[in-house]
Amino acid sequence: MNIDLLRLQCEQHAHDQRNHSDILSLSKNDRLKHYGLHFAKYVGRLARGSDELKSAERTVVDTFLVALSAANTLHQNLTTLRISSDSKPQVDPIYVLADAAGRFADACEKIDHLEEFVPLARKANADLMQWVLTTSAERQIDLEALIKERRKELAARQFYIVD
């Protein structure tokens, strides 16, 4: 799978400006905490397995979109990272996601203690992105198509925006 992360990161920025002004109006620190809560929610979705109503594919796409938004908030150029969809299969994908999401949450918690958090958040976010790409490749998920579909769903919720 060859995916243009810079293009998708730019598209996510435009999508967020148009459809998520409530989140973009938060301080950067609060935005990061918001994204950390999303990541925790996605771990819960996957941990519930067949008891979860939302599909694993939807969770992968949602994780990807939030990781793009987090990268934008962190001023993280994803194209400079060693992220590949050609990595070895994950032994336990939920563990990999939970580990990265937990480290992202740890970074968010450090904000309140005035401890250094940006490098930890960036590394965790890169690992979340790696998880998405690896999982997408393993499950043969067409990320590009599902991202477009999901963004349309999210945009439709913003009834006060006129095209």
Task: State the residue range of the domain holding 125.
Answer: 5-156
pLDDT computed for residue 87 by the predictor: 56
Residue 81 reports pLDDT greater than 80:
no
pLDDT computed for residue 159 by the predictor: 63
**Which pTM was predicted?**
0.91
What is the residue type of 113?
H
Length of the chain: 163
The answer to whether residue 137 sits within a structural domain is yes
The answer to whether residue 163 sits within a structural domain is no
The answer to whether residue 48 sits within a structural domain is yes
Number of domains in the chain: 1
